[in-house]
């Protein structure tokens, strides 16, 4: 038997899934049932070494920069407490009373201190000792005041009842907790900081206005690896205050998290935004560029990544640090080693022998890079590991062992290094040493699949089949535990990573060993064992000299290591962590726990597959684990449980012995007030109130930057201009929200209450049958569609005599055979199931890989698929006919039945190709097809006065233009809502059917939270809902079949997903009826897209102004919402123009061209209305929004500022847009056949309507 040793070069992450949480950060207090799941180890960067281009250690300079960037304002400025009260203290007052006092100058200095000093203030720096002492004094002052308030308030004596009531009547100002959060955060007391911040969120309903508090809270969440909460906090910060000076820190951490979750597009986006930000940052520009190159490497764009690394190395030594240069060299070395397809670079310094193959040249080049990296790196254990892999491939065993030894000496708990050592021993025919090394590896990381497989191969080589069988089973279980339910990008490289977690050969070996045990029961229990059994090897200590370097905690606590094996950590050598040398989590009583890698195929040869930096860094050392996080939680307030247990309380944070010593502010019992004489109490109580009441700290809502002009739609344009001039632009936030005057952040909706009972979770789908052309154009048909979330219209195609054959594959191939289409590679499976790539578990992530082809090629595939299906059906029919003559009671027949069921189960997972997004917008190519669709009723047409999208002014592919979908059985359109929640029309061309699923828009928040629990991005990701999960959350689901010719109307905001049952084509487009529900959902999704960094392809601001120019509205609710959008966008333009004028820049007029597309910011992808900031980048003039332009350059000197509309033009449109009160003039236009459709209705009825005319037959259908 030939045995192949497996050595991994790929590894997949396994982030823990954070549990469902409320959408509001302040809602954390209600999360009693929200227990923490396994946290992922990533270390918070507390003491960064570099600040981009500003390396100043002086607090004054750093704070001056921050203050300038924030328009000179601070969120929670406090005034000194009244000084008259301390002066009236009786002489008998306790000496500790004086310790509570701060001078007016100290209070004033504290006004400039908040979380924005992160990275600038360093407690260990000598220049920061004065501020550090002041912060400690302030914390002690607040803590003593809180403690004494609690003690006095708890008195029950009659003499003190009046004073107790006086104390309780003066509530604690929420900003006391906010400031305590800031001070503890800056000093590194993260437990107290988290407690104080959350208490602040609980007590201040306007917490979202306090950017510094949200910033500090987000960094604290990131420090404790609560990634979903970190995302929530930072997204809210970026949305509510785009001008906040430290948003670059938020973008960097969001990018790190998305990189970990394998959301590479989002990671790129946030890194790019941080790179364009000129404000002070804990990472320099070169470090961010290294991150971007690393993301390219992770997503398989190796050539681009190599170019980025080389460009960094070309910089001078005074620009790039030695540690970063070492990182680049190490990554280049790994790229040279692990990528066969990438040719080696020409290097004259290497002495190339004529007989060297290209692969050997790559190995020697990798060795050169790695040796250079080791010389520059102070902790080069990663490079040593890579070096050992290179030497092993060159069969230089001695050098490989030396490199591995150096790696182990640098980091003892290194699972992959021990696995590689075992492979070397096994190749040298040293089975006992190989066994010891493999045992070390799997004890350090029980999910190391490669080590388990190689250990099984070792046992199988020596015919110890039972031990081999157990090792293979461990590998399969580890695969199941280490699978990731992530919303990954659908690139080919990612698909390889997610689908090859377990080699097929392992499953074959398990089946083979099972078959051996069936034929020979004794083969699994051979007594003559040449190697110790798995249990004996696991329990015995390893005598090997190198194995003695293992971390002792893994020798004594192997059981706990196995128990926590389902968790993973972000590697400490992640570029962010490595370049800045982030310190460990405060609690060091932990067991390093490496990543668990994926493995290469069973018949793996020495050819290596590509690997990413993070995908191999598990091989070395992890500095924090889930177990360490759990230990820290036991020693600190439980900040993920009941709010009352983790709020900033006196008992837990001042008196309790359970508080971490490093977080204590040094309060001694002698500093607590003595309650001996009643004469002391009035002075003491007045002082407590002066510190904790609103006289000490000001409400965050009083911050001048938060105050906004008070506007209403009753005001005319000139009044709005005059009101905006009252607010100085340099000290006022410029808000561009169209749903809120003050920038209130959006949240997913809560589900309707009370929840529906189980028997109502499968509602019948509204359907209607049209029998005549009169019925087709009747207002009742339109009302029926607008009154339902989803509806099926049958008979309309035949009544209107639509020639659907114009959209058949044959016609399309004959018309435009070379037309470009997008193809998605998927896997056939039942419509109510969604299996992972290994067909083991039901998941939400929908596997889909993107490519492109032409209509002709896809048509050939569609026809070939149909002919193959016919052939398979004939074979099945013949086999079924033969089985009739078998004895039904025989064993062979029963076996046949079982095999048939099994074949049916696994035959479903064959790959299928879905031809999607076929653009039919060109009237020159598709004139006949587009003319045919003009036969539809006006409310369902692609272009009509009844359609909001007609007034956009330019073509939006797939929305106000037609798109075609070409399908074979099993093709899936994953779950989604239409862009900006617009309605859609879908016609099945046939000849096959499609199965539809739909959920009402009020439940999309529930689905959003389920996606979060499955680590899938609701907007960016690809997901297929599991019905059982929806029913468990009391979500009703529509389910029906769309026959050829049926038209499906998808209402505004309806969540839906579709699977093809047969071979068919579909055409679809969006429509926007003039209803209050449609417009309301559209602008809410517009703002939510900004919150989620998702591009809104429907420019709602420009669309609203075009509607105001072109359409007269009679529905008051629709008019009010559009008028509010006009008012808020006009206010934004006025405030922005005033700001530009104040800083001395000129705005140039550049009027829009006819049908010119709306401009979007090149950095953040938000719509840019009216005022454009243009800059030349790489010989192209690109548009920026105001916020990104200001981040790039605060004075905007390098930007050309353009204006698309004169202010007078906008004011005229605003003033002329009035509500039409005359019924006869209801929404009149010059277009024909638009009267019925332009009559606005409110489509908020969730029940199935009944029409008023008897000629239209309505019914309820369900499948």
Confidence of residue 516 (pLDDT cuts 50, 70, 90): confident
Q: Give the pLDDT confidence score for residue 530 in this predicted structure.
A: 82
The answer as to whether 541 is a domain residue is: yes
Closest to 4 measured CA to CA, from 611, 616, 606, 609: 606
- The percentage of residues in the chain with a pLDDT greater than 90, rounded to a whole number, is 48
The answer as to whether 223 is a domain residue is: yes
The answer as to whether 812 is a domain residue is: yes
Q: Is the pLDDT of residue 235 over 70?
A: yes
Q: Give the pLDDT confidence score for residue 643 in this predicted structure.
A: 34
- For residues 1008 and 955, state if they share a domain: yes
Give 312-375 as a DSSP string: HHTS-TTTS-HHHHHHHHHHHHHHHHH-SSSPPPP-TTS---TT--HHHHHHHHHHHHHHHHHH
Please state, in angstroms and rounded to a whole number, the distance separating the CA atoms of residues 554 and 560. Answer: 9
Residue 396: how many other CB atoms lie within 10 Å: 16
Q: CA angle, corner 537, sides to 523 and 408, nearest 5?
A: 135
Confidence of residue 686 (pLDDT cuts 50, 70, 90): low
The answer as to whether 1198 is a domain residue is: yes
Q: Where are the alpha helices (DSSP H) in 170-277?
A: 174-187, 190-203, 211-223, 227-240, 247-260, 264-275
Question: Which of 642, 674, 702 is the C-terminal boundary of a domain?
Answer: 702
Q: Give the pLDDT confidence score for residue 167 in this predicted structure.
A: 65
Q: Give the pLDDT confidence score for residue 1222 in this predicted structure.
A: 63
Q: Is the pLDDT of residue 240 over 90?
A: yes
- For residues 806 and 733, state if they share a domain: no
Range in 326-340, 389-403, 505-519, 1144-1158 the model is least confident about: 505-519
- For residues 1182 and 1051, state if they share a domain: no
Averaged pLDDT for residues 137-142 = 88
- Identify the CATH number of the domain in which residue 1183 sits: 1.20.58.1370
Range in 51-60, 1069-1078, 1153-1162 the model is least confident about: 51-60
Range in 201-210, 386-395, 525-534, 915-924 the model is least confident about: 525-534
Q: Is the pLDDT of residue 761 over 70?
A: yes
Range in 312-316, 449-453, 589-593, 833-837 the model is least confident about: 589-593
Q: What is the DSSP letter of 1043?
A: -
Range in 49-58, 324-333, 581-590, 1022-1031 the model is least confident about: 581-590
The answer as to whether 42 is a domain residue is: no
Confidence of residue 142 (pLDDT cuts 50, 70, 90): confident
- Identify the CATH number of the domain in which residue 941 sits: 2.60.120.650
Whole-number Cα distances in Å, 288 to 509, 579, 611: 45, 10, 21
- The percentage of residues in the chain with a pLDDT greater than 70, rounded to a whole number, is 68
Q: Is the pLDDT of residue 551 over 70?
A: no
Residue 942: burial class (beta carbons within 10 Å; 0-12, 13-18, 19+): buried
Q: What is the dihedral of CA 677, 679, 682, 683, to 10 degrees?
A: -100
Mean pLDDT, the chain, rounded, equals 75
- For residues 1000 and 1127, state if they share a domain: no
Averaged pLDDT for residues 808-836 = 93
Residue 1167: how many other CB atoms lie within 10 Å: 24
Confidence of residue 1246 (pLDDT cuts 50, 70, 90): very low
Contact between 606 and 9 (Cβ < 8 Å): no
Closest to 733 measured CA to CA, from 1100, 402, 286, 1187: 1187
pTM to 2 decimals? Answer: 0.79
Q: Give the pLDDT confidence score for residue 64 in this predicted structure.
A: 47
Question: Which of 1046, 1073, 1100 is the C-terminal boundary of a domain?
Answer: 1073
Q: What is the dihedral of CA 1095, 1098, 1102, 1105, to 10 degrees?
A: -140
Q: Give the pLDDT confidence score for residue 1153 in this predicted structure.
A: 85
- For residues 611 and 670, state if they share a domain: no
- For residues 531 and 585, state if they share a domain: yes
Q: CA angle, corner 756, sides to 751 and 759, nearest 5?
A: 145
Please state, in angstroms and rounded to a whole number, the distance separating the CA atoms of residues 245 and 69. Answer: 6
Please state, in angstroms and rounded to a whole number, the distance separating the CA atoms of residues 1008 and 750. Answer: 11
Q: Give the pLDDT confidence score for residue 680 in this predicted structure.
A: 41
Collect all residues with Cβ–Cβ distance below 8 Å to 1136 and sequence separation of at least 6: 729, 734, 1171, 1186
Q: Give the pLDDT confidence score for residue 493 in this predicted structure.
A: 36
The answer as to whether 1041 is a domain residue is: yes
- For residues 1013 and 1124, state if they share a domain: no
Q: Which residue has the higher pLDDT, 1055 or 35?
A: 1055
Give 1079-1116 as a DSSP string: HHHHHHHHHHHHHTT---SS-HHHHHHHHHHH-----H
Q: Angle at which helices 1076-1091 and 227-240 pack, to 10 degrees?
A: 110
Domain that holds residue 60: 54-244+665-702
Q: Give the pLDDT confidence score for residue 880 in this predicted structure.
A: 57
- For residues 936 and 806, state if they share a domain: yes
Q: Give the pLDDT confidence score for residue 1006 in this predicted structure.
A: 96
- For residues 692 and 565, state if they share a domain: no
Averaged pLDDT for residues 243-269 = 93
- Identify the CATH number of the domain in which residue 566 sits: 1.25.40.10
Q: Which residue has the higher pLDDT, 151 or 1124?
A: 1124
Q: Give the pLDDT confidence score for residue 361 in this predicted structure.
A: 87
Q: Is the pLDDT of residue 549 over 50?
A: no
Q: Is the pLDDT of residue 590 over 60?
A: no
Residue 1003's Cα: distance from chain center in Å? 20
Query: Mind listing the pLDDT tens digit for each residue in 862-884?
Result: 999 998 888 887 777 766 555 54
- For residues 1052 and 1183, state if they share a domain: no
Please state, in angstroms and rounded to a whole number, the distance separating the CA atoms of residues 1009 and 23. Answer: 9
Work out whether strand 1180-1184 and strand 1148-1149 pair parallel, antiparallel, or are unpaired: unpaired
The answer as to whether 268 is a domain residue is: no
Question: Which of 1021, 1052, 1073 is the C-terminal boundary of a domain?
Answer: 1073
**Beta-bridge partners for 1050:** 790, 984
CA torsion sign for 1124, 1126, 1128, 1130 is negative
Give 1140-1203 as a DSSP string: HHHTTPPPEE-PPPTTPPPPB-TTT--B--SEEEEEEETTEEEEE-HHHHHHH-TT-TT-EEEE
Query: Mind listing the pLDDT tens digit for each residue in 1174-1189?
Result: 999 888 899 999 999 9
Q: Give the pLDDT confidence score for residue 379 in this predicted structure.
A: 84
Number of domains in the chain: 4
Confidence of residue 975 (pLDDT cuts 50, 70, 90): very high
Closest to 437 measured CA to CA, from 335, 537, 563: 537
- For residues 150 and 172, state if they share a domain: yes
Q: Is the pLDDT of residue 966 over 90?
A: yes
2: tokens are: 């030939």
Confidence of residue 145 (pLDDT cuts 50, 70, 90): confident
- For residues 480 and 609, state if they share a domain: yes
SS3 871: helix
Q: Give the pLDDT confidence score for residue 1173 in this predicted structure.
A: 96
Query: Mind listing the pLDDT tens digit for each residue in 7-54?
Result: 554 433 333 333 334 445 554 444 433 433 333 333 333 333 333 444
Q: CA angle, corner 751, sides to 750 and 752, nearest 5?
A: 120
Residue with tokens 């410029």: 734
Closest to 496 measured CA to CA, from 822, 849, 834, 841: 849
Q: Give the pLDDT confidence score for residue 141 in this predicted structure.
A: 86
Residue 156: burial class (beta carbons within 10 Å; 0-12, 13-18, 19+): exposed
The answer as to whether 269 is a domain residue is: no
Confidence of residue 649 (pLDDT cuts 50, 70, 90): very low
Please state, in angstroms and rounded to a whole number, the distance separating the CA atoms of residues 1236 and 1219. Answer: 18
Residue 885: burial class (beta carbons within 10 Å; 0-12, 13-18, 19+): exposed
987: tokens are: 């016609």
Q: Which residue has the higher pLDDT, 165 or 187?
A: 187
Q: Give the pLDDT confidence score for residue 1182 in this predicted structure.
A: 94
Q: Is the pLDDT of residue 1067 over 60?
A: yes
């Amino acid at each position: 038997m030939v045995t192949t040793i497996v050595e991994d070069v790929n590894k997949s992450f396994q982030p823990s899934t954070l549990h469902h949480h409320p959408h509001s950060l302040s809602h954390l207090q209600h999360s009693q049932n929200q227990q923490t799941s396994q946290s992922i180890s990533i270390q918070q960067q507390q003491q960064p070494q570099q600040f981009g281009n500003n390396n100043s250690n002086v607090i004054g300079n750093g704070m001056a920069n921050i203050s300038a960037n924030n328009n000179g304002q601070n969120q929670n400025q406090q005034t000194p407490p009244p000084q008259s009260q301390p002066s009236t203290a009786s002489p008998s007052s306790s000496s500790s009373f004086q310790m509570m006092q701060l001078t007016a100058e100290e209070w004033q200095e504290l006004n400039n201190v908040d979380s924005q000093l992160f990275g600038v203030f360093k407690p260990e720096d000598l220049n920061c000792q004065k501020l550090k002492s002041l912060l400690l004094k302030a914390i002690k002052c607040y803590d003593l005041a809180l403690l004494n308030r609690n003690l006095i308030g708890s008195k029950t004596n009659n003499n003190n009842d009046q004073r107790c009531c006086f104390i309780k009547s003066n509530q604690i100002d929420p900003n006391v907790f906010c400031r305590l959060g800031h001070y503890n955060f800056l000093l590194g007391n993260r437990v107290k900081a988290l407690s104080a911040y959350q208490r602040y969120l609980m007590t201040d309903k306007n917490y979202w206005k306090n950017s510094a508090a949200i910033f500090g809270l987000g960094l604290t969440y990131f420090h404790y690896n609560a990634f979903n909460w970190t995302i929530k906090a930072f997204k809210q910060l970026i949305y509510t205050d785009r001008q906040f000076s430290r948003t670059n820190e938020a973008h960097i951490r969001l990018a790190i998290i998305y990189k970990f979750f394998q959301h590479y597009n989002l990671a790129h986006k946030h890194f790019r935004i941080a790179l364009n930000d000129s404000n002070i940052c804990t990472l320099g520009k070169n470090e961010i560029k290294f991150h971007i190159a690393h993301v390219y490497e992770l997503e398989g764009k190796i050539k681009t990544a190599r170019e980025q690394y080389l460009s960094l190395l070309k910089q001078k030594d005074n620009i790039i640090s030695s540690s970063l240069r070492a990182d680049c060299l190490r990554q280049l070395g790994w790229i040279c080693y692990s990528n066969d397809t990438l040719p080696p670079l020409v290097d004259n310094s290497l002495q190339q022998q004529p007989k060297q193959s290209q692969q050997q040249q790559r190995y020697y080049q990798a060795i050169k890079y790695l040796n250079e990296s080791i010389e520059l790196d102070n902790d080069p254990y990663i490079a040593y590991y890579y070096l050992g892999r290179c030497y092993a491939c060159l069969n230089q065993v001695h050098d490989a062992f030396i490199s591995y030894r150096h790696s182990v000496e640098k980091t003892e708990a290194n699972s992959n290094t021990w696995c590689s050592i075992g492979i070397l021993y096994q190749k040298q025919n040293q089975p006992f040493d190989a066994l010891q090394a493999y045992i070390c590896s799997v004890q350090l990381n029980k999910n190391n699949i490669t080590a388990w497989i190689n250990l099984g191969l070792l046992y199988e080589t020596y015919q110890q089949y039972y031990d081999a069988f157990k090792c293979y089973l461990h590998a399969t279980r580890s695969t199941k535990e280490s699978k990731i339910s992530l919303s990954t990008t659908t690139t080919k490289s990612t698909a390889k990573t997610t689908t090859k977690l377990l080699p097929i050969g392992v499953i074959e070996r398990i089946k083979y060993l099972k078959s051996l045990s069936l034929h020979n029961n004794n083969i699994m229990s051979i007594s003559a064992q040449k190697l110790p059994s798995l249990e004996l090897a696991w329990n015995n200590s390893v005598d090997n000299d190198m194995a003695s370097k293992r971390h002792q905690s893994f020798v004594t606590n192997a059981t706990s290591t196995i128990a926590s094996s389902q968790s993973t950590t972000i590697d400490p050598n992640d570029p962010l962590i490595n370049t800045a040398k982030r310190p460990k989590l405060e609690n060091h009583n932990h067991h390093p726990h490496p990543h668990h890698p994926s493995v290469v195929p069973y018949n793996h040869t020495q050819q290596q597959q590509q690997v990413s930096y993070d995908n191999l860094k598990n091989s070395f050392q992890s500095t924090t684990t889930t177990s360490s996080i759990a230990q820290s939680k036991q020693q600190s307030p439980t900040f993920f449980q009941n709010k009352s247990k983790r709020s900033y309380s006196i008992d837990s944070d001042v008196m309790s012995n359970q508080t971490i010593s490093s977080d204590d502010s040094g309060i001694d019992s002698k500093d607590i007030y003595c309650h001996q004489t009643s004469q002391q109490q009035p002075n003491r109580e007045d002082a407590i109130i002066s510190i904790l009441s609103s006289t000490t700290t000001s409400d965050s809502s009083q911050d001048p930057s938060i105050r906004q002009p008070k506007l209403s739609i009753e005001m005319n344009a000139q009044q709005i201009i005059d009101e905006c001039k009252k607010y100085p632009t340099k000290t006022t936030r410029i808000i561009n929200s169209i749903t809120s005057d003050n920038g209130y952040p959006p949240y997913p909706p809560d589900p309707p209450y009370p929840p529906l009972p189980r028997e109502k979770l499968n509602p019948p789908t509204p359907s209607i049958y049209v029998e005549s052309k009169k019925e087709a154009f009747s207002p009742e048909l339109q009302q029926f569609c607008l009154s339902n979330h989803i509806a099926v219209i049958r008979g309309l195609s035949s009544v209107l005599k639509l020639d659907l054959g114009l959209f058949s594959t044959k016609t399309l191939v004959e018309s435009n055979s070379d037309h470009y289409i997008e193809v998605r590679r998927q896997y056939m499976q039942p419509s109510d199931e969604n299996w992972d790539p290994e067909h083991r578990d039901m998941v939400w992530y929908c596997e889909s890989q993107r490519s492109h082809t032409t209509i002709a090629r896809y048509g050939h595939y569609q026809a070939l698929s149909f002919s193959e299906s016919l052939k398979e059906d004939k074979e099945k029919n013949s086999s079924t006919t033969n089985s009739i003559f078998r004895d039904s009671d025989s064993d062979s027949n029963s076996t046949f039945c079982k095999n048939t069921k099994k074949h049916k189960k696994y035959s479903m997972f064959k790959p299928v190709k879905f031809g999607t997004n076929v653009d039919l917008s060109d009237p020159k190519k598709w004139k006949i097809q587009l003319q045919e669709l003009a036969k539809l009723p006006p409310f369902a047409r692609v272009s009509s006065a009844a359609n909001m999208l007609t007034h956009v002014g330019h073509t939006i592919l797939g929305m106000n233009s037609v798109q075609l979908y070409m399908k074979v059985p099993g093709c899936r359109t994953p779950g989604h809502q239409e862009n900006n929640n617009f309605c859609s029309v879908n016609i099945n061309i046939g000849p096959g059917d499609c199965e539809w699923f739909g959920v009402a828009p009020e439940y999309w928040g529930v689905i959003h939270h389920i996606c979060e629990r499955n680590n899938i991005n609701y907007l960016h990701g690809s997901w297929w809902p599991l019905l059982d999960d929806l029913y468990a959350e009391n979500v009703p689901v529509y389910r029906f079949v769309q026959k050829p010719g049926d038209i499906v109307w998808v209402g505004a905001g309806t969540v839906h997903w579709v699977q093809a049952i047969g071979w068919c084509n579909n055409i679809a487009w969006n429509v926007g009826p003039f209803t209050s529900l449609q417009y309301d959902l559209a602008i809410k999704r517009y703002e939510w897209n900004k919150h989620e960094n998702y591009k809104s392809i429907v420019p709602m601001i420009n669309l609203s102004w075009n509607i105001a120019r072109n359409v007269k509205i009679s529905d008051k609710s629709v008019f009010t919402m559009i008028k509010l959008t006009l008012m808020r966008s006009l206010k934004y333009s006025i405030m922005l123009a005033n700001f530009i004028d104040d800083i001395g820049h000129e705005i140039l007029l550049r009027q829009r061209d006819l049908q010119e597309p709306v401009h979007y910011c090149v950095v953040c992808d938000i719509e840019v209305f009216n005022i454009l900031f243009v800059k030349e980048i790489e010989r192209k003039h690109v548009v920026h929004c105001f916020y990104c332009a200001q981040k790039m350059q605060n004075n905007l000197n390098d930007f050309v500022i353009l204006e698309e509309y004169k202010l007078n033009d906008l004011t005229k449109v605003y003033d002329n847009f009035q509500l039409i009160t005359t019924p006869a003039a209801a929404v009149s236009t010059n277009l024909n056949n638009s009267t019925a459709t332009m009559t606005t209705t409110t489509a908020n009825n969730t029940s199935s309507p009944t029409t008023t005319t008897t000629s239209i037959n309505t019914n309820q259908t369900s499948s």
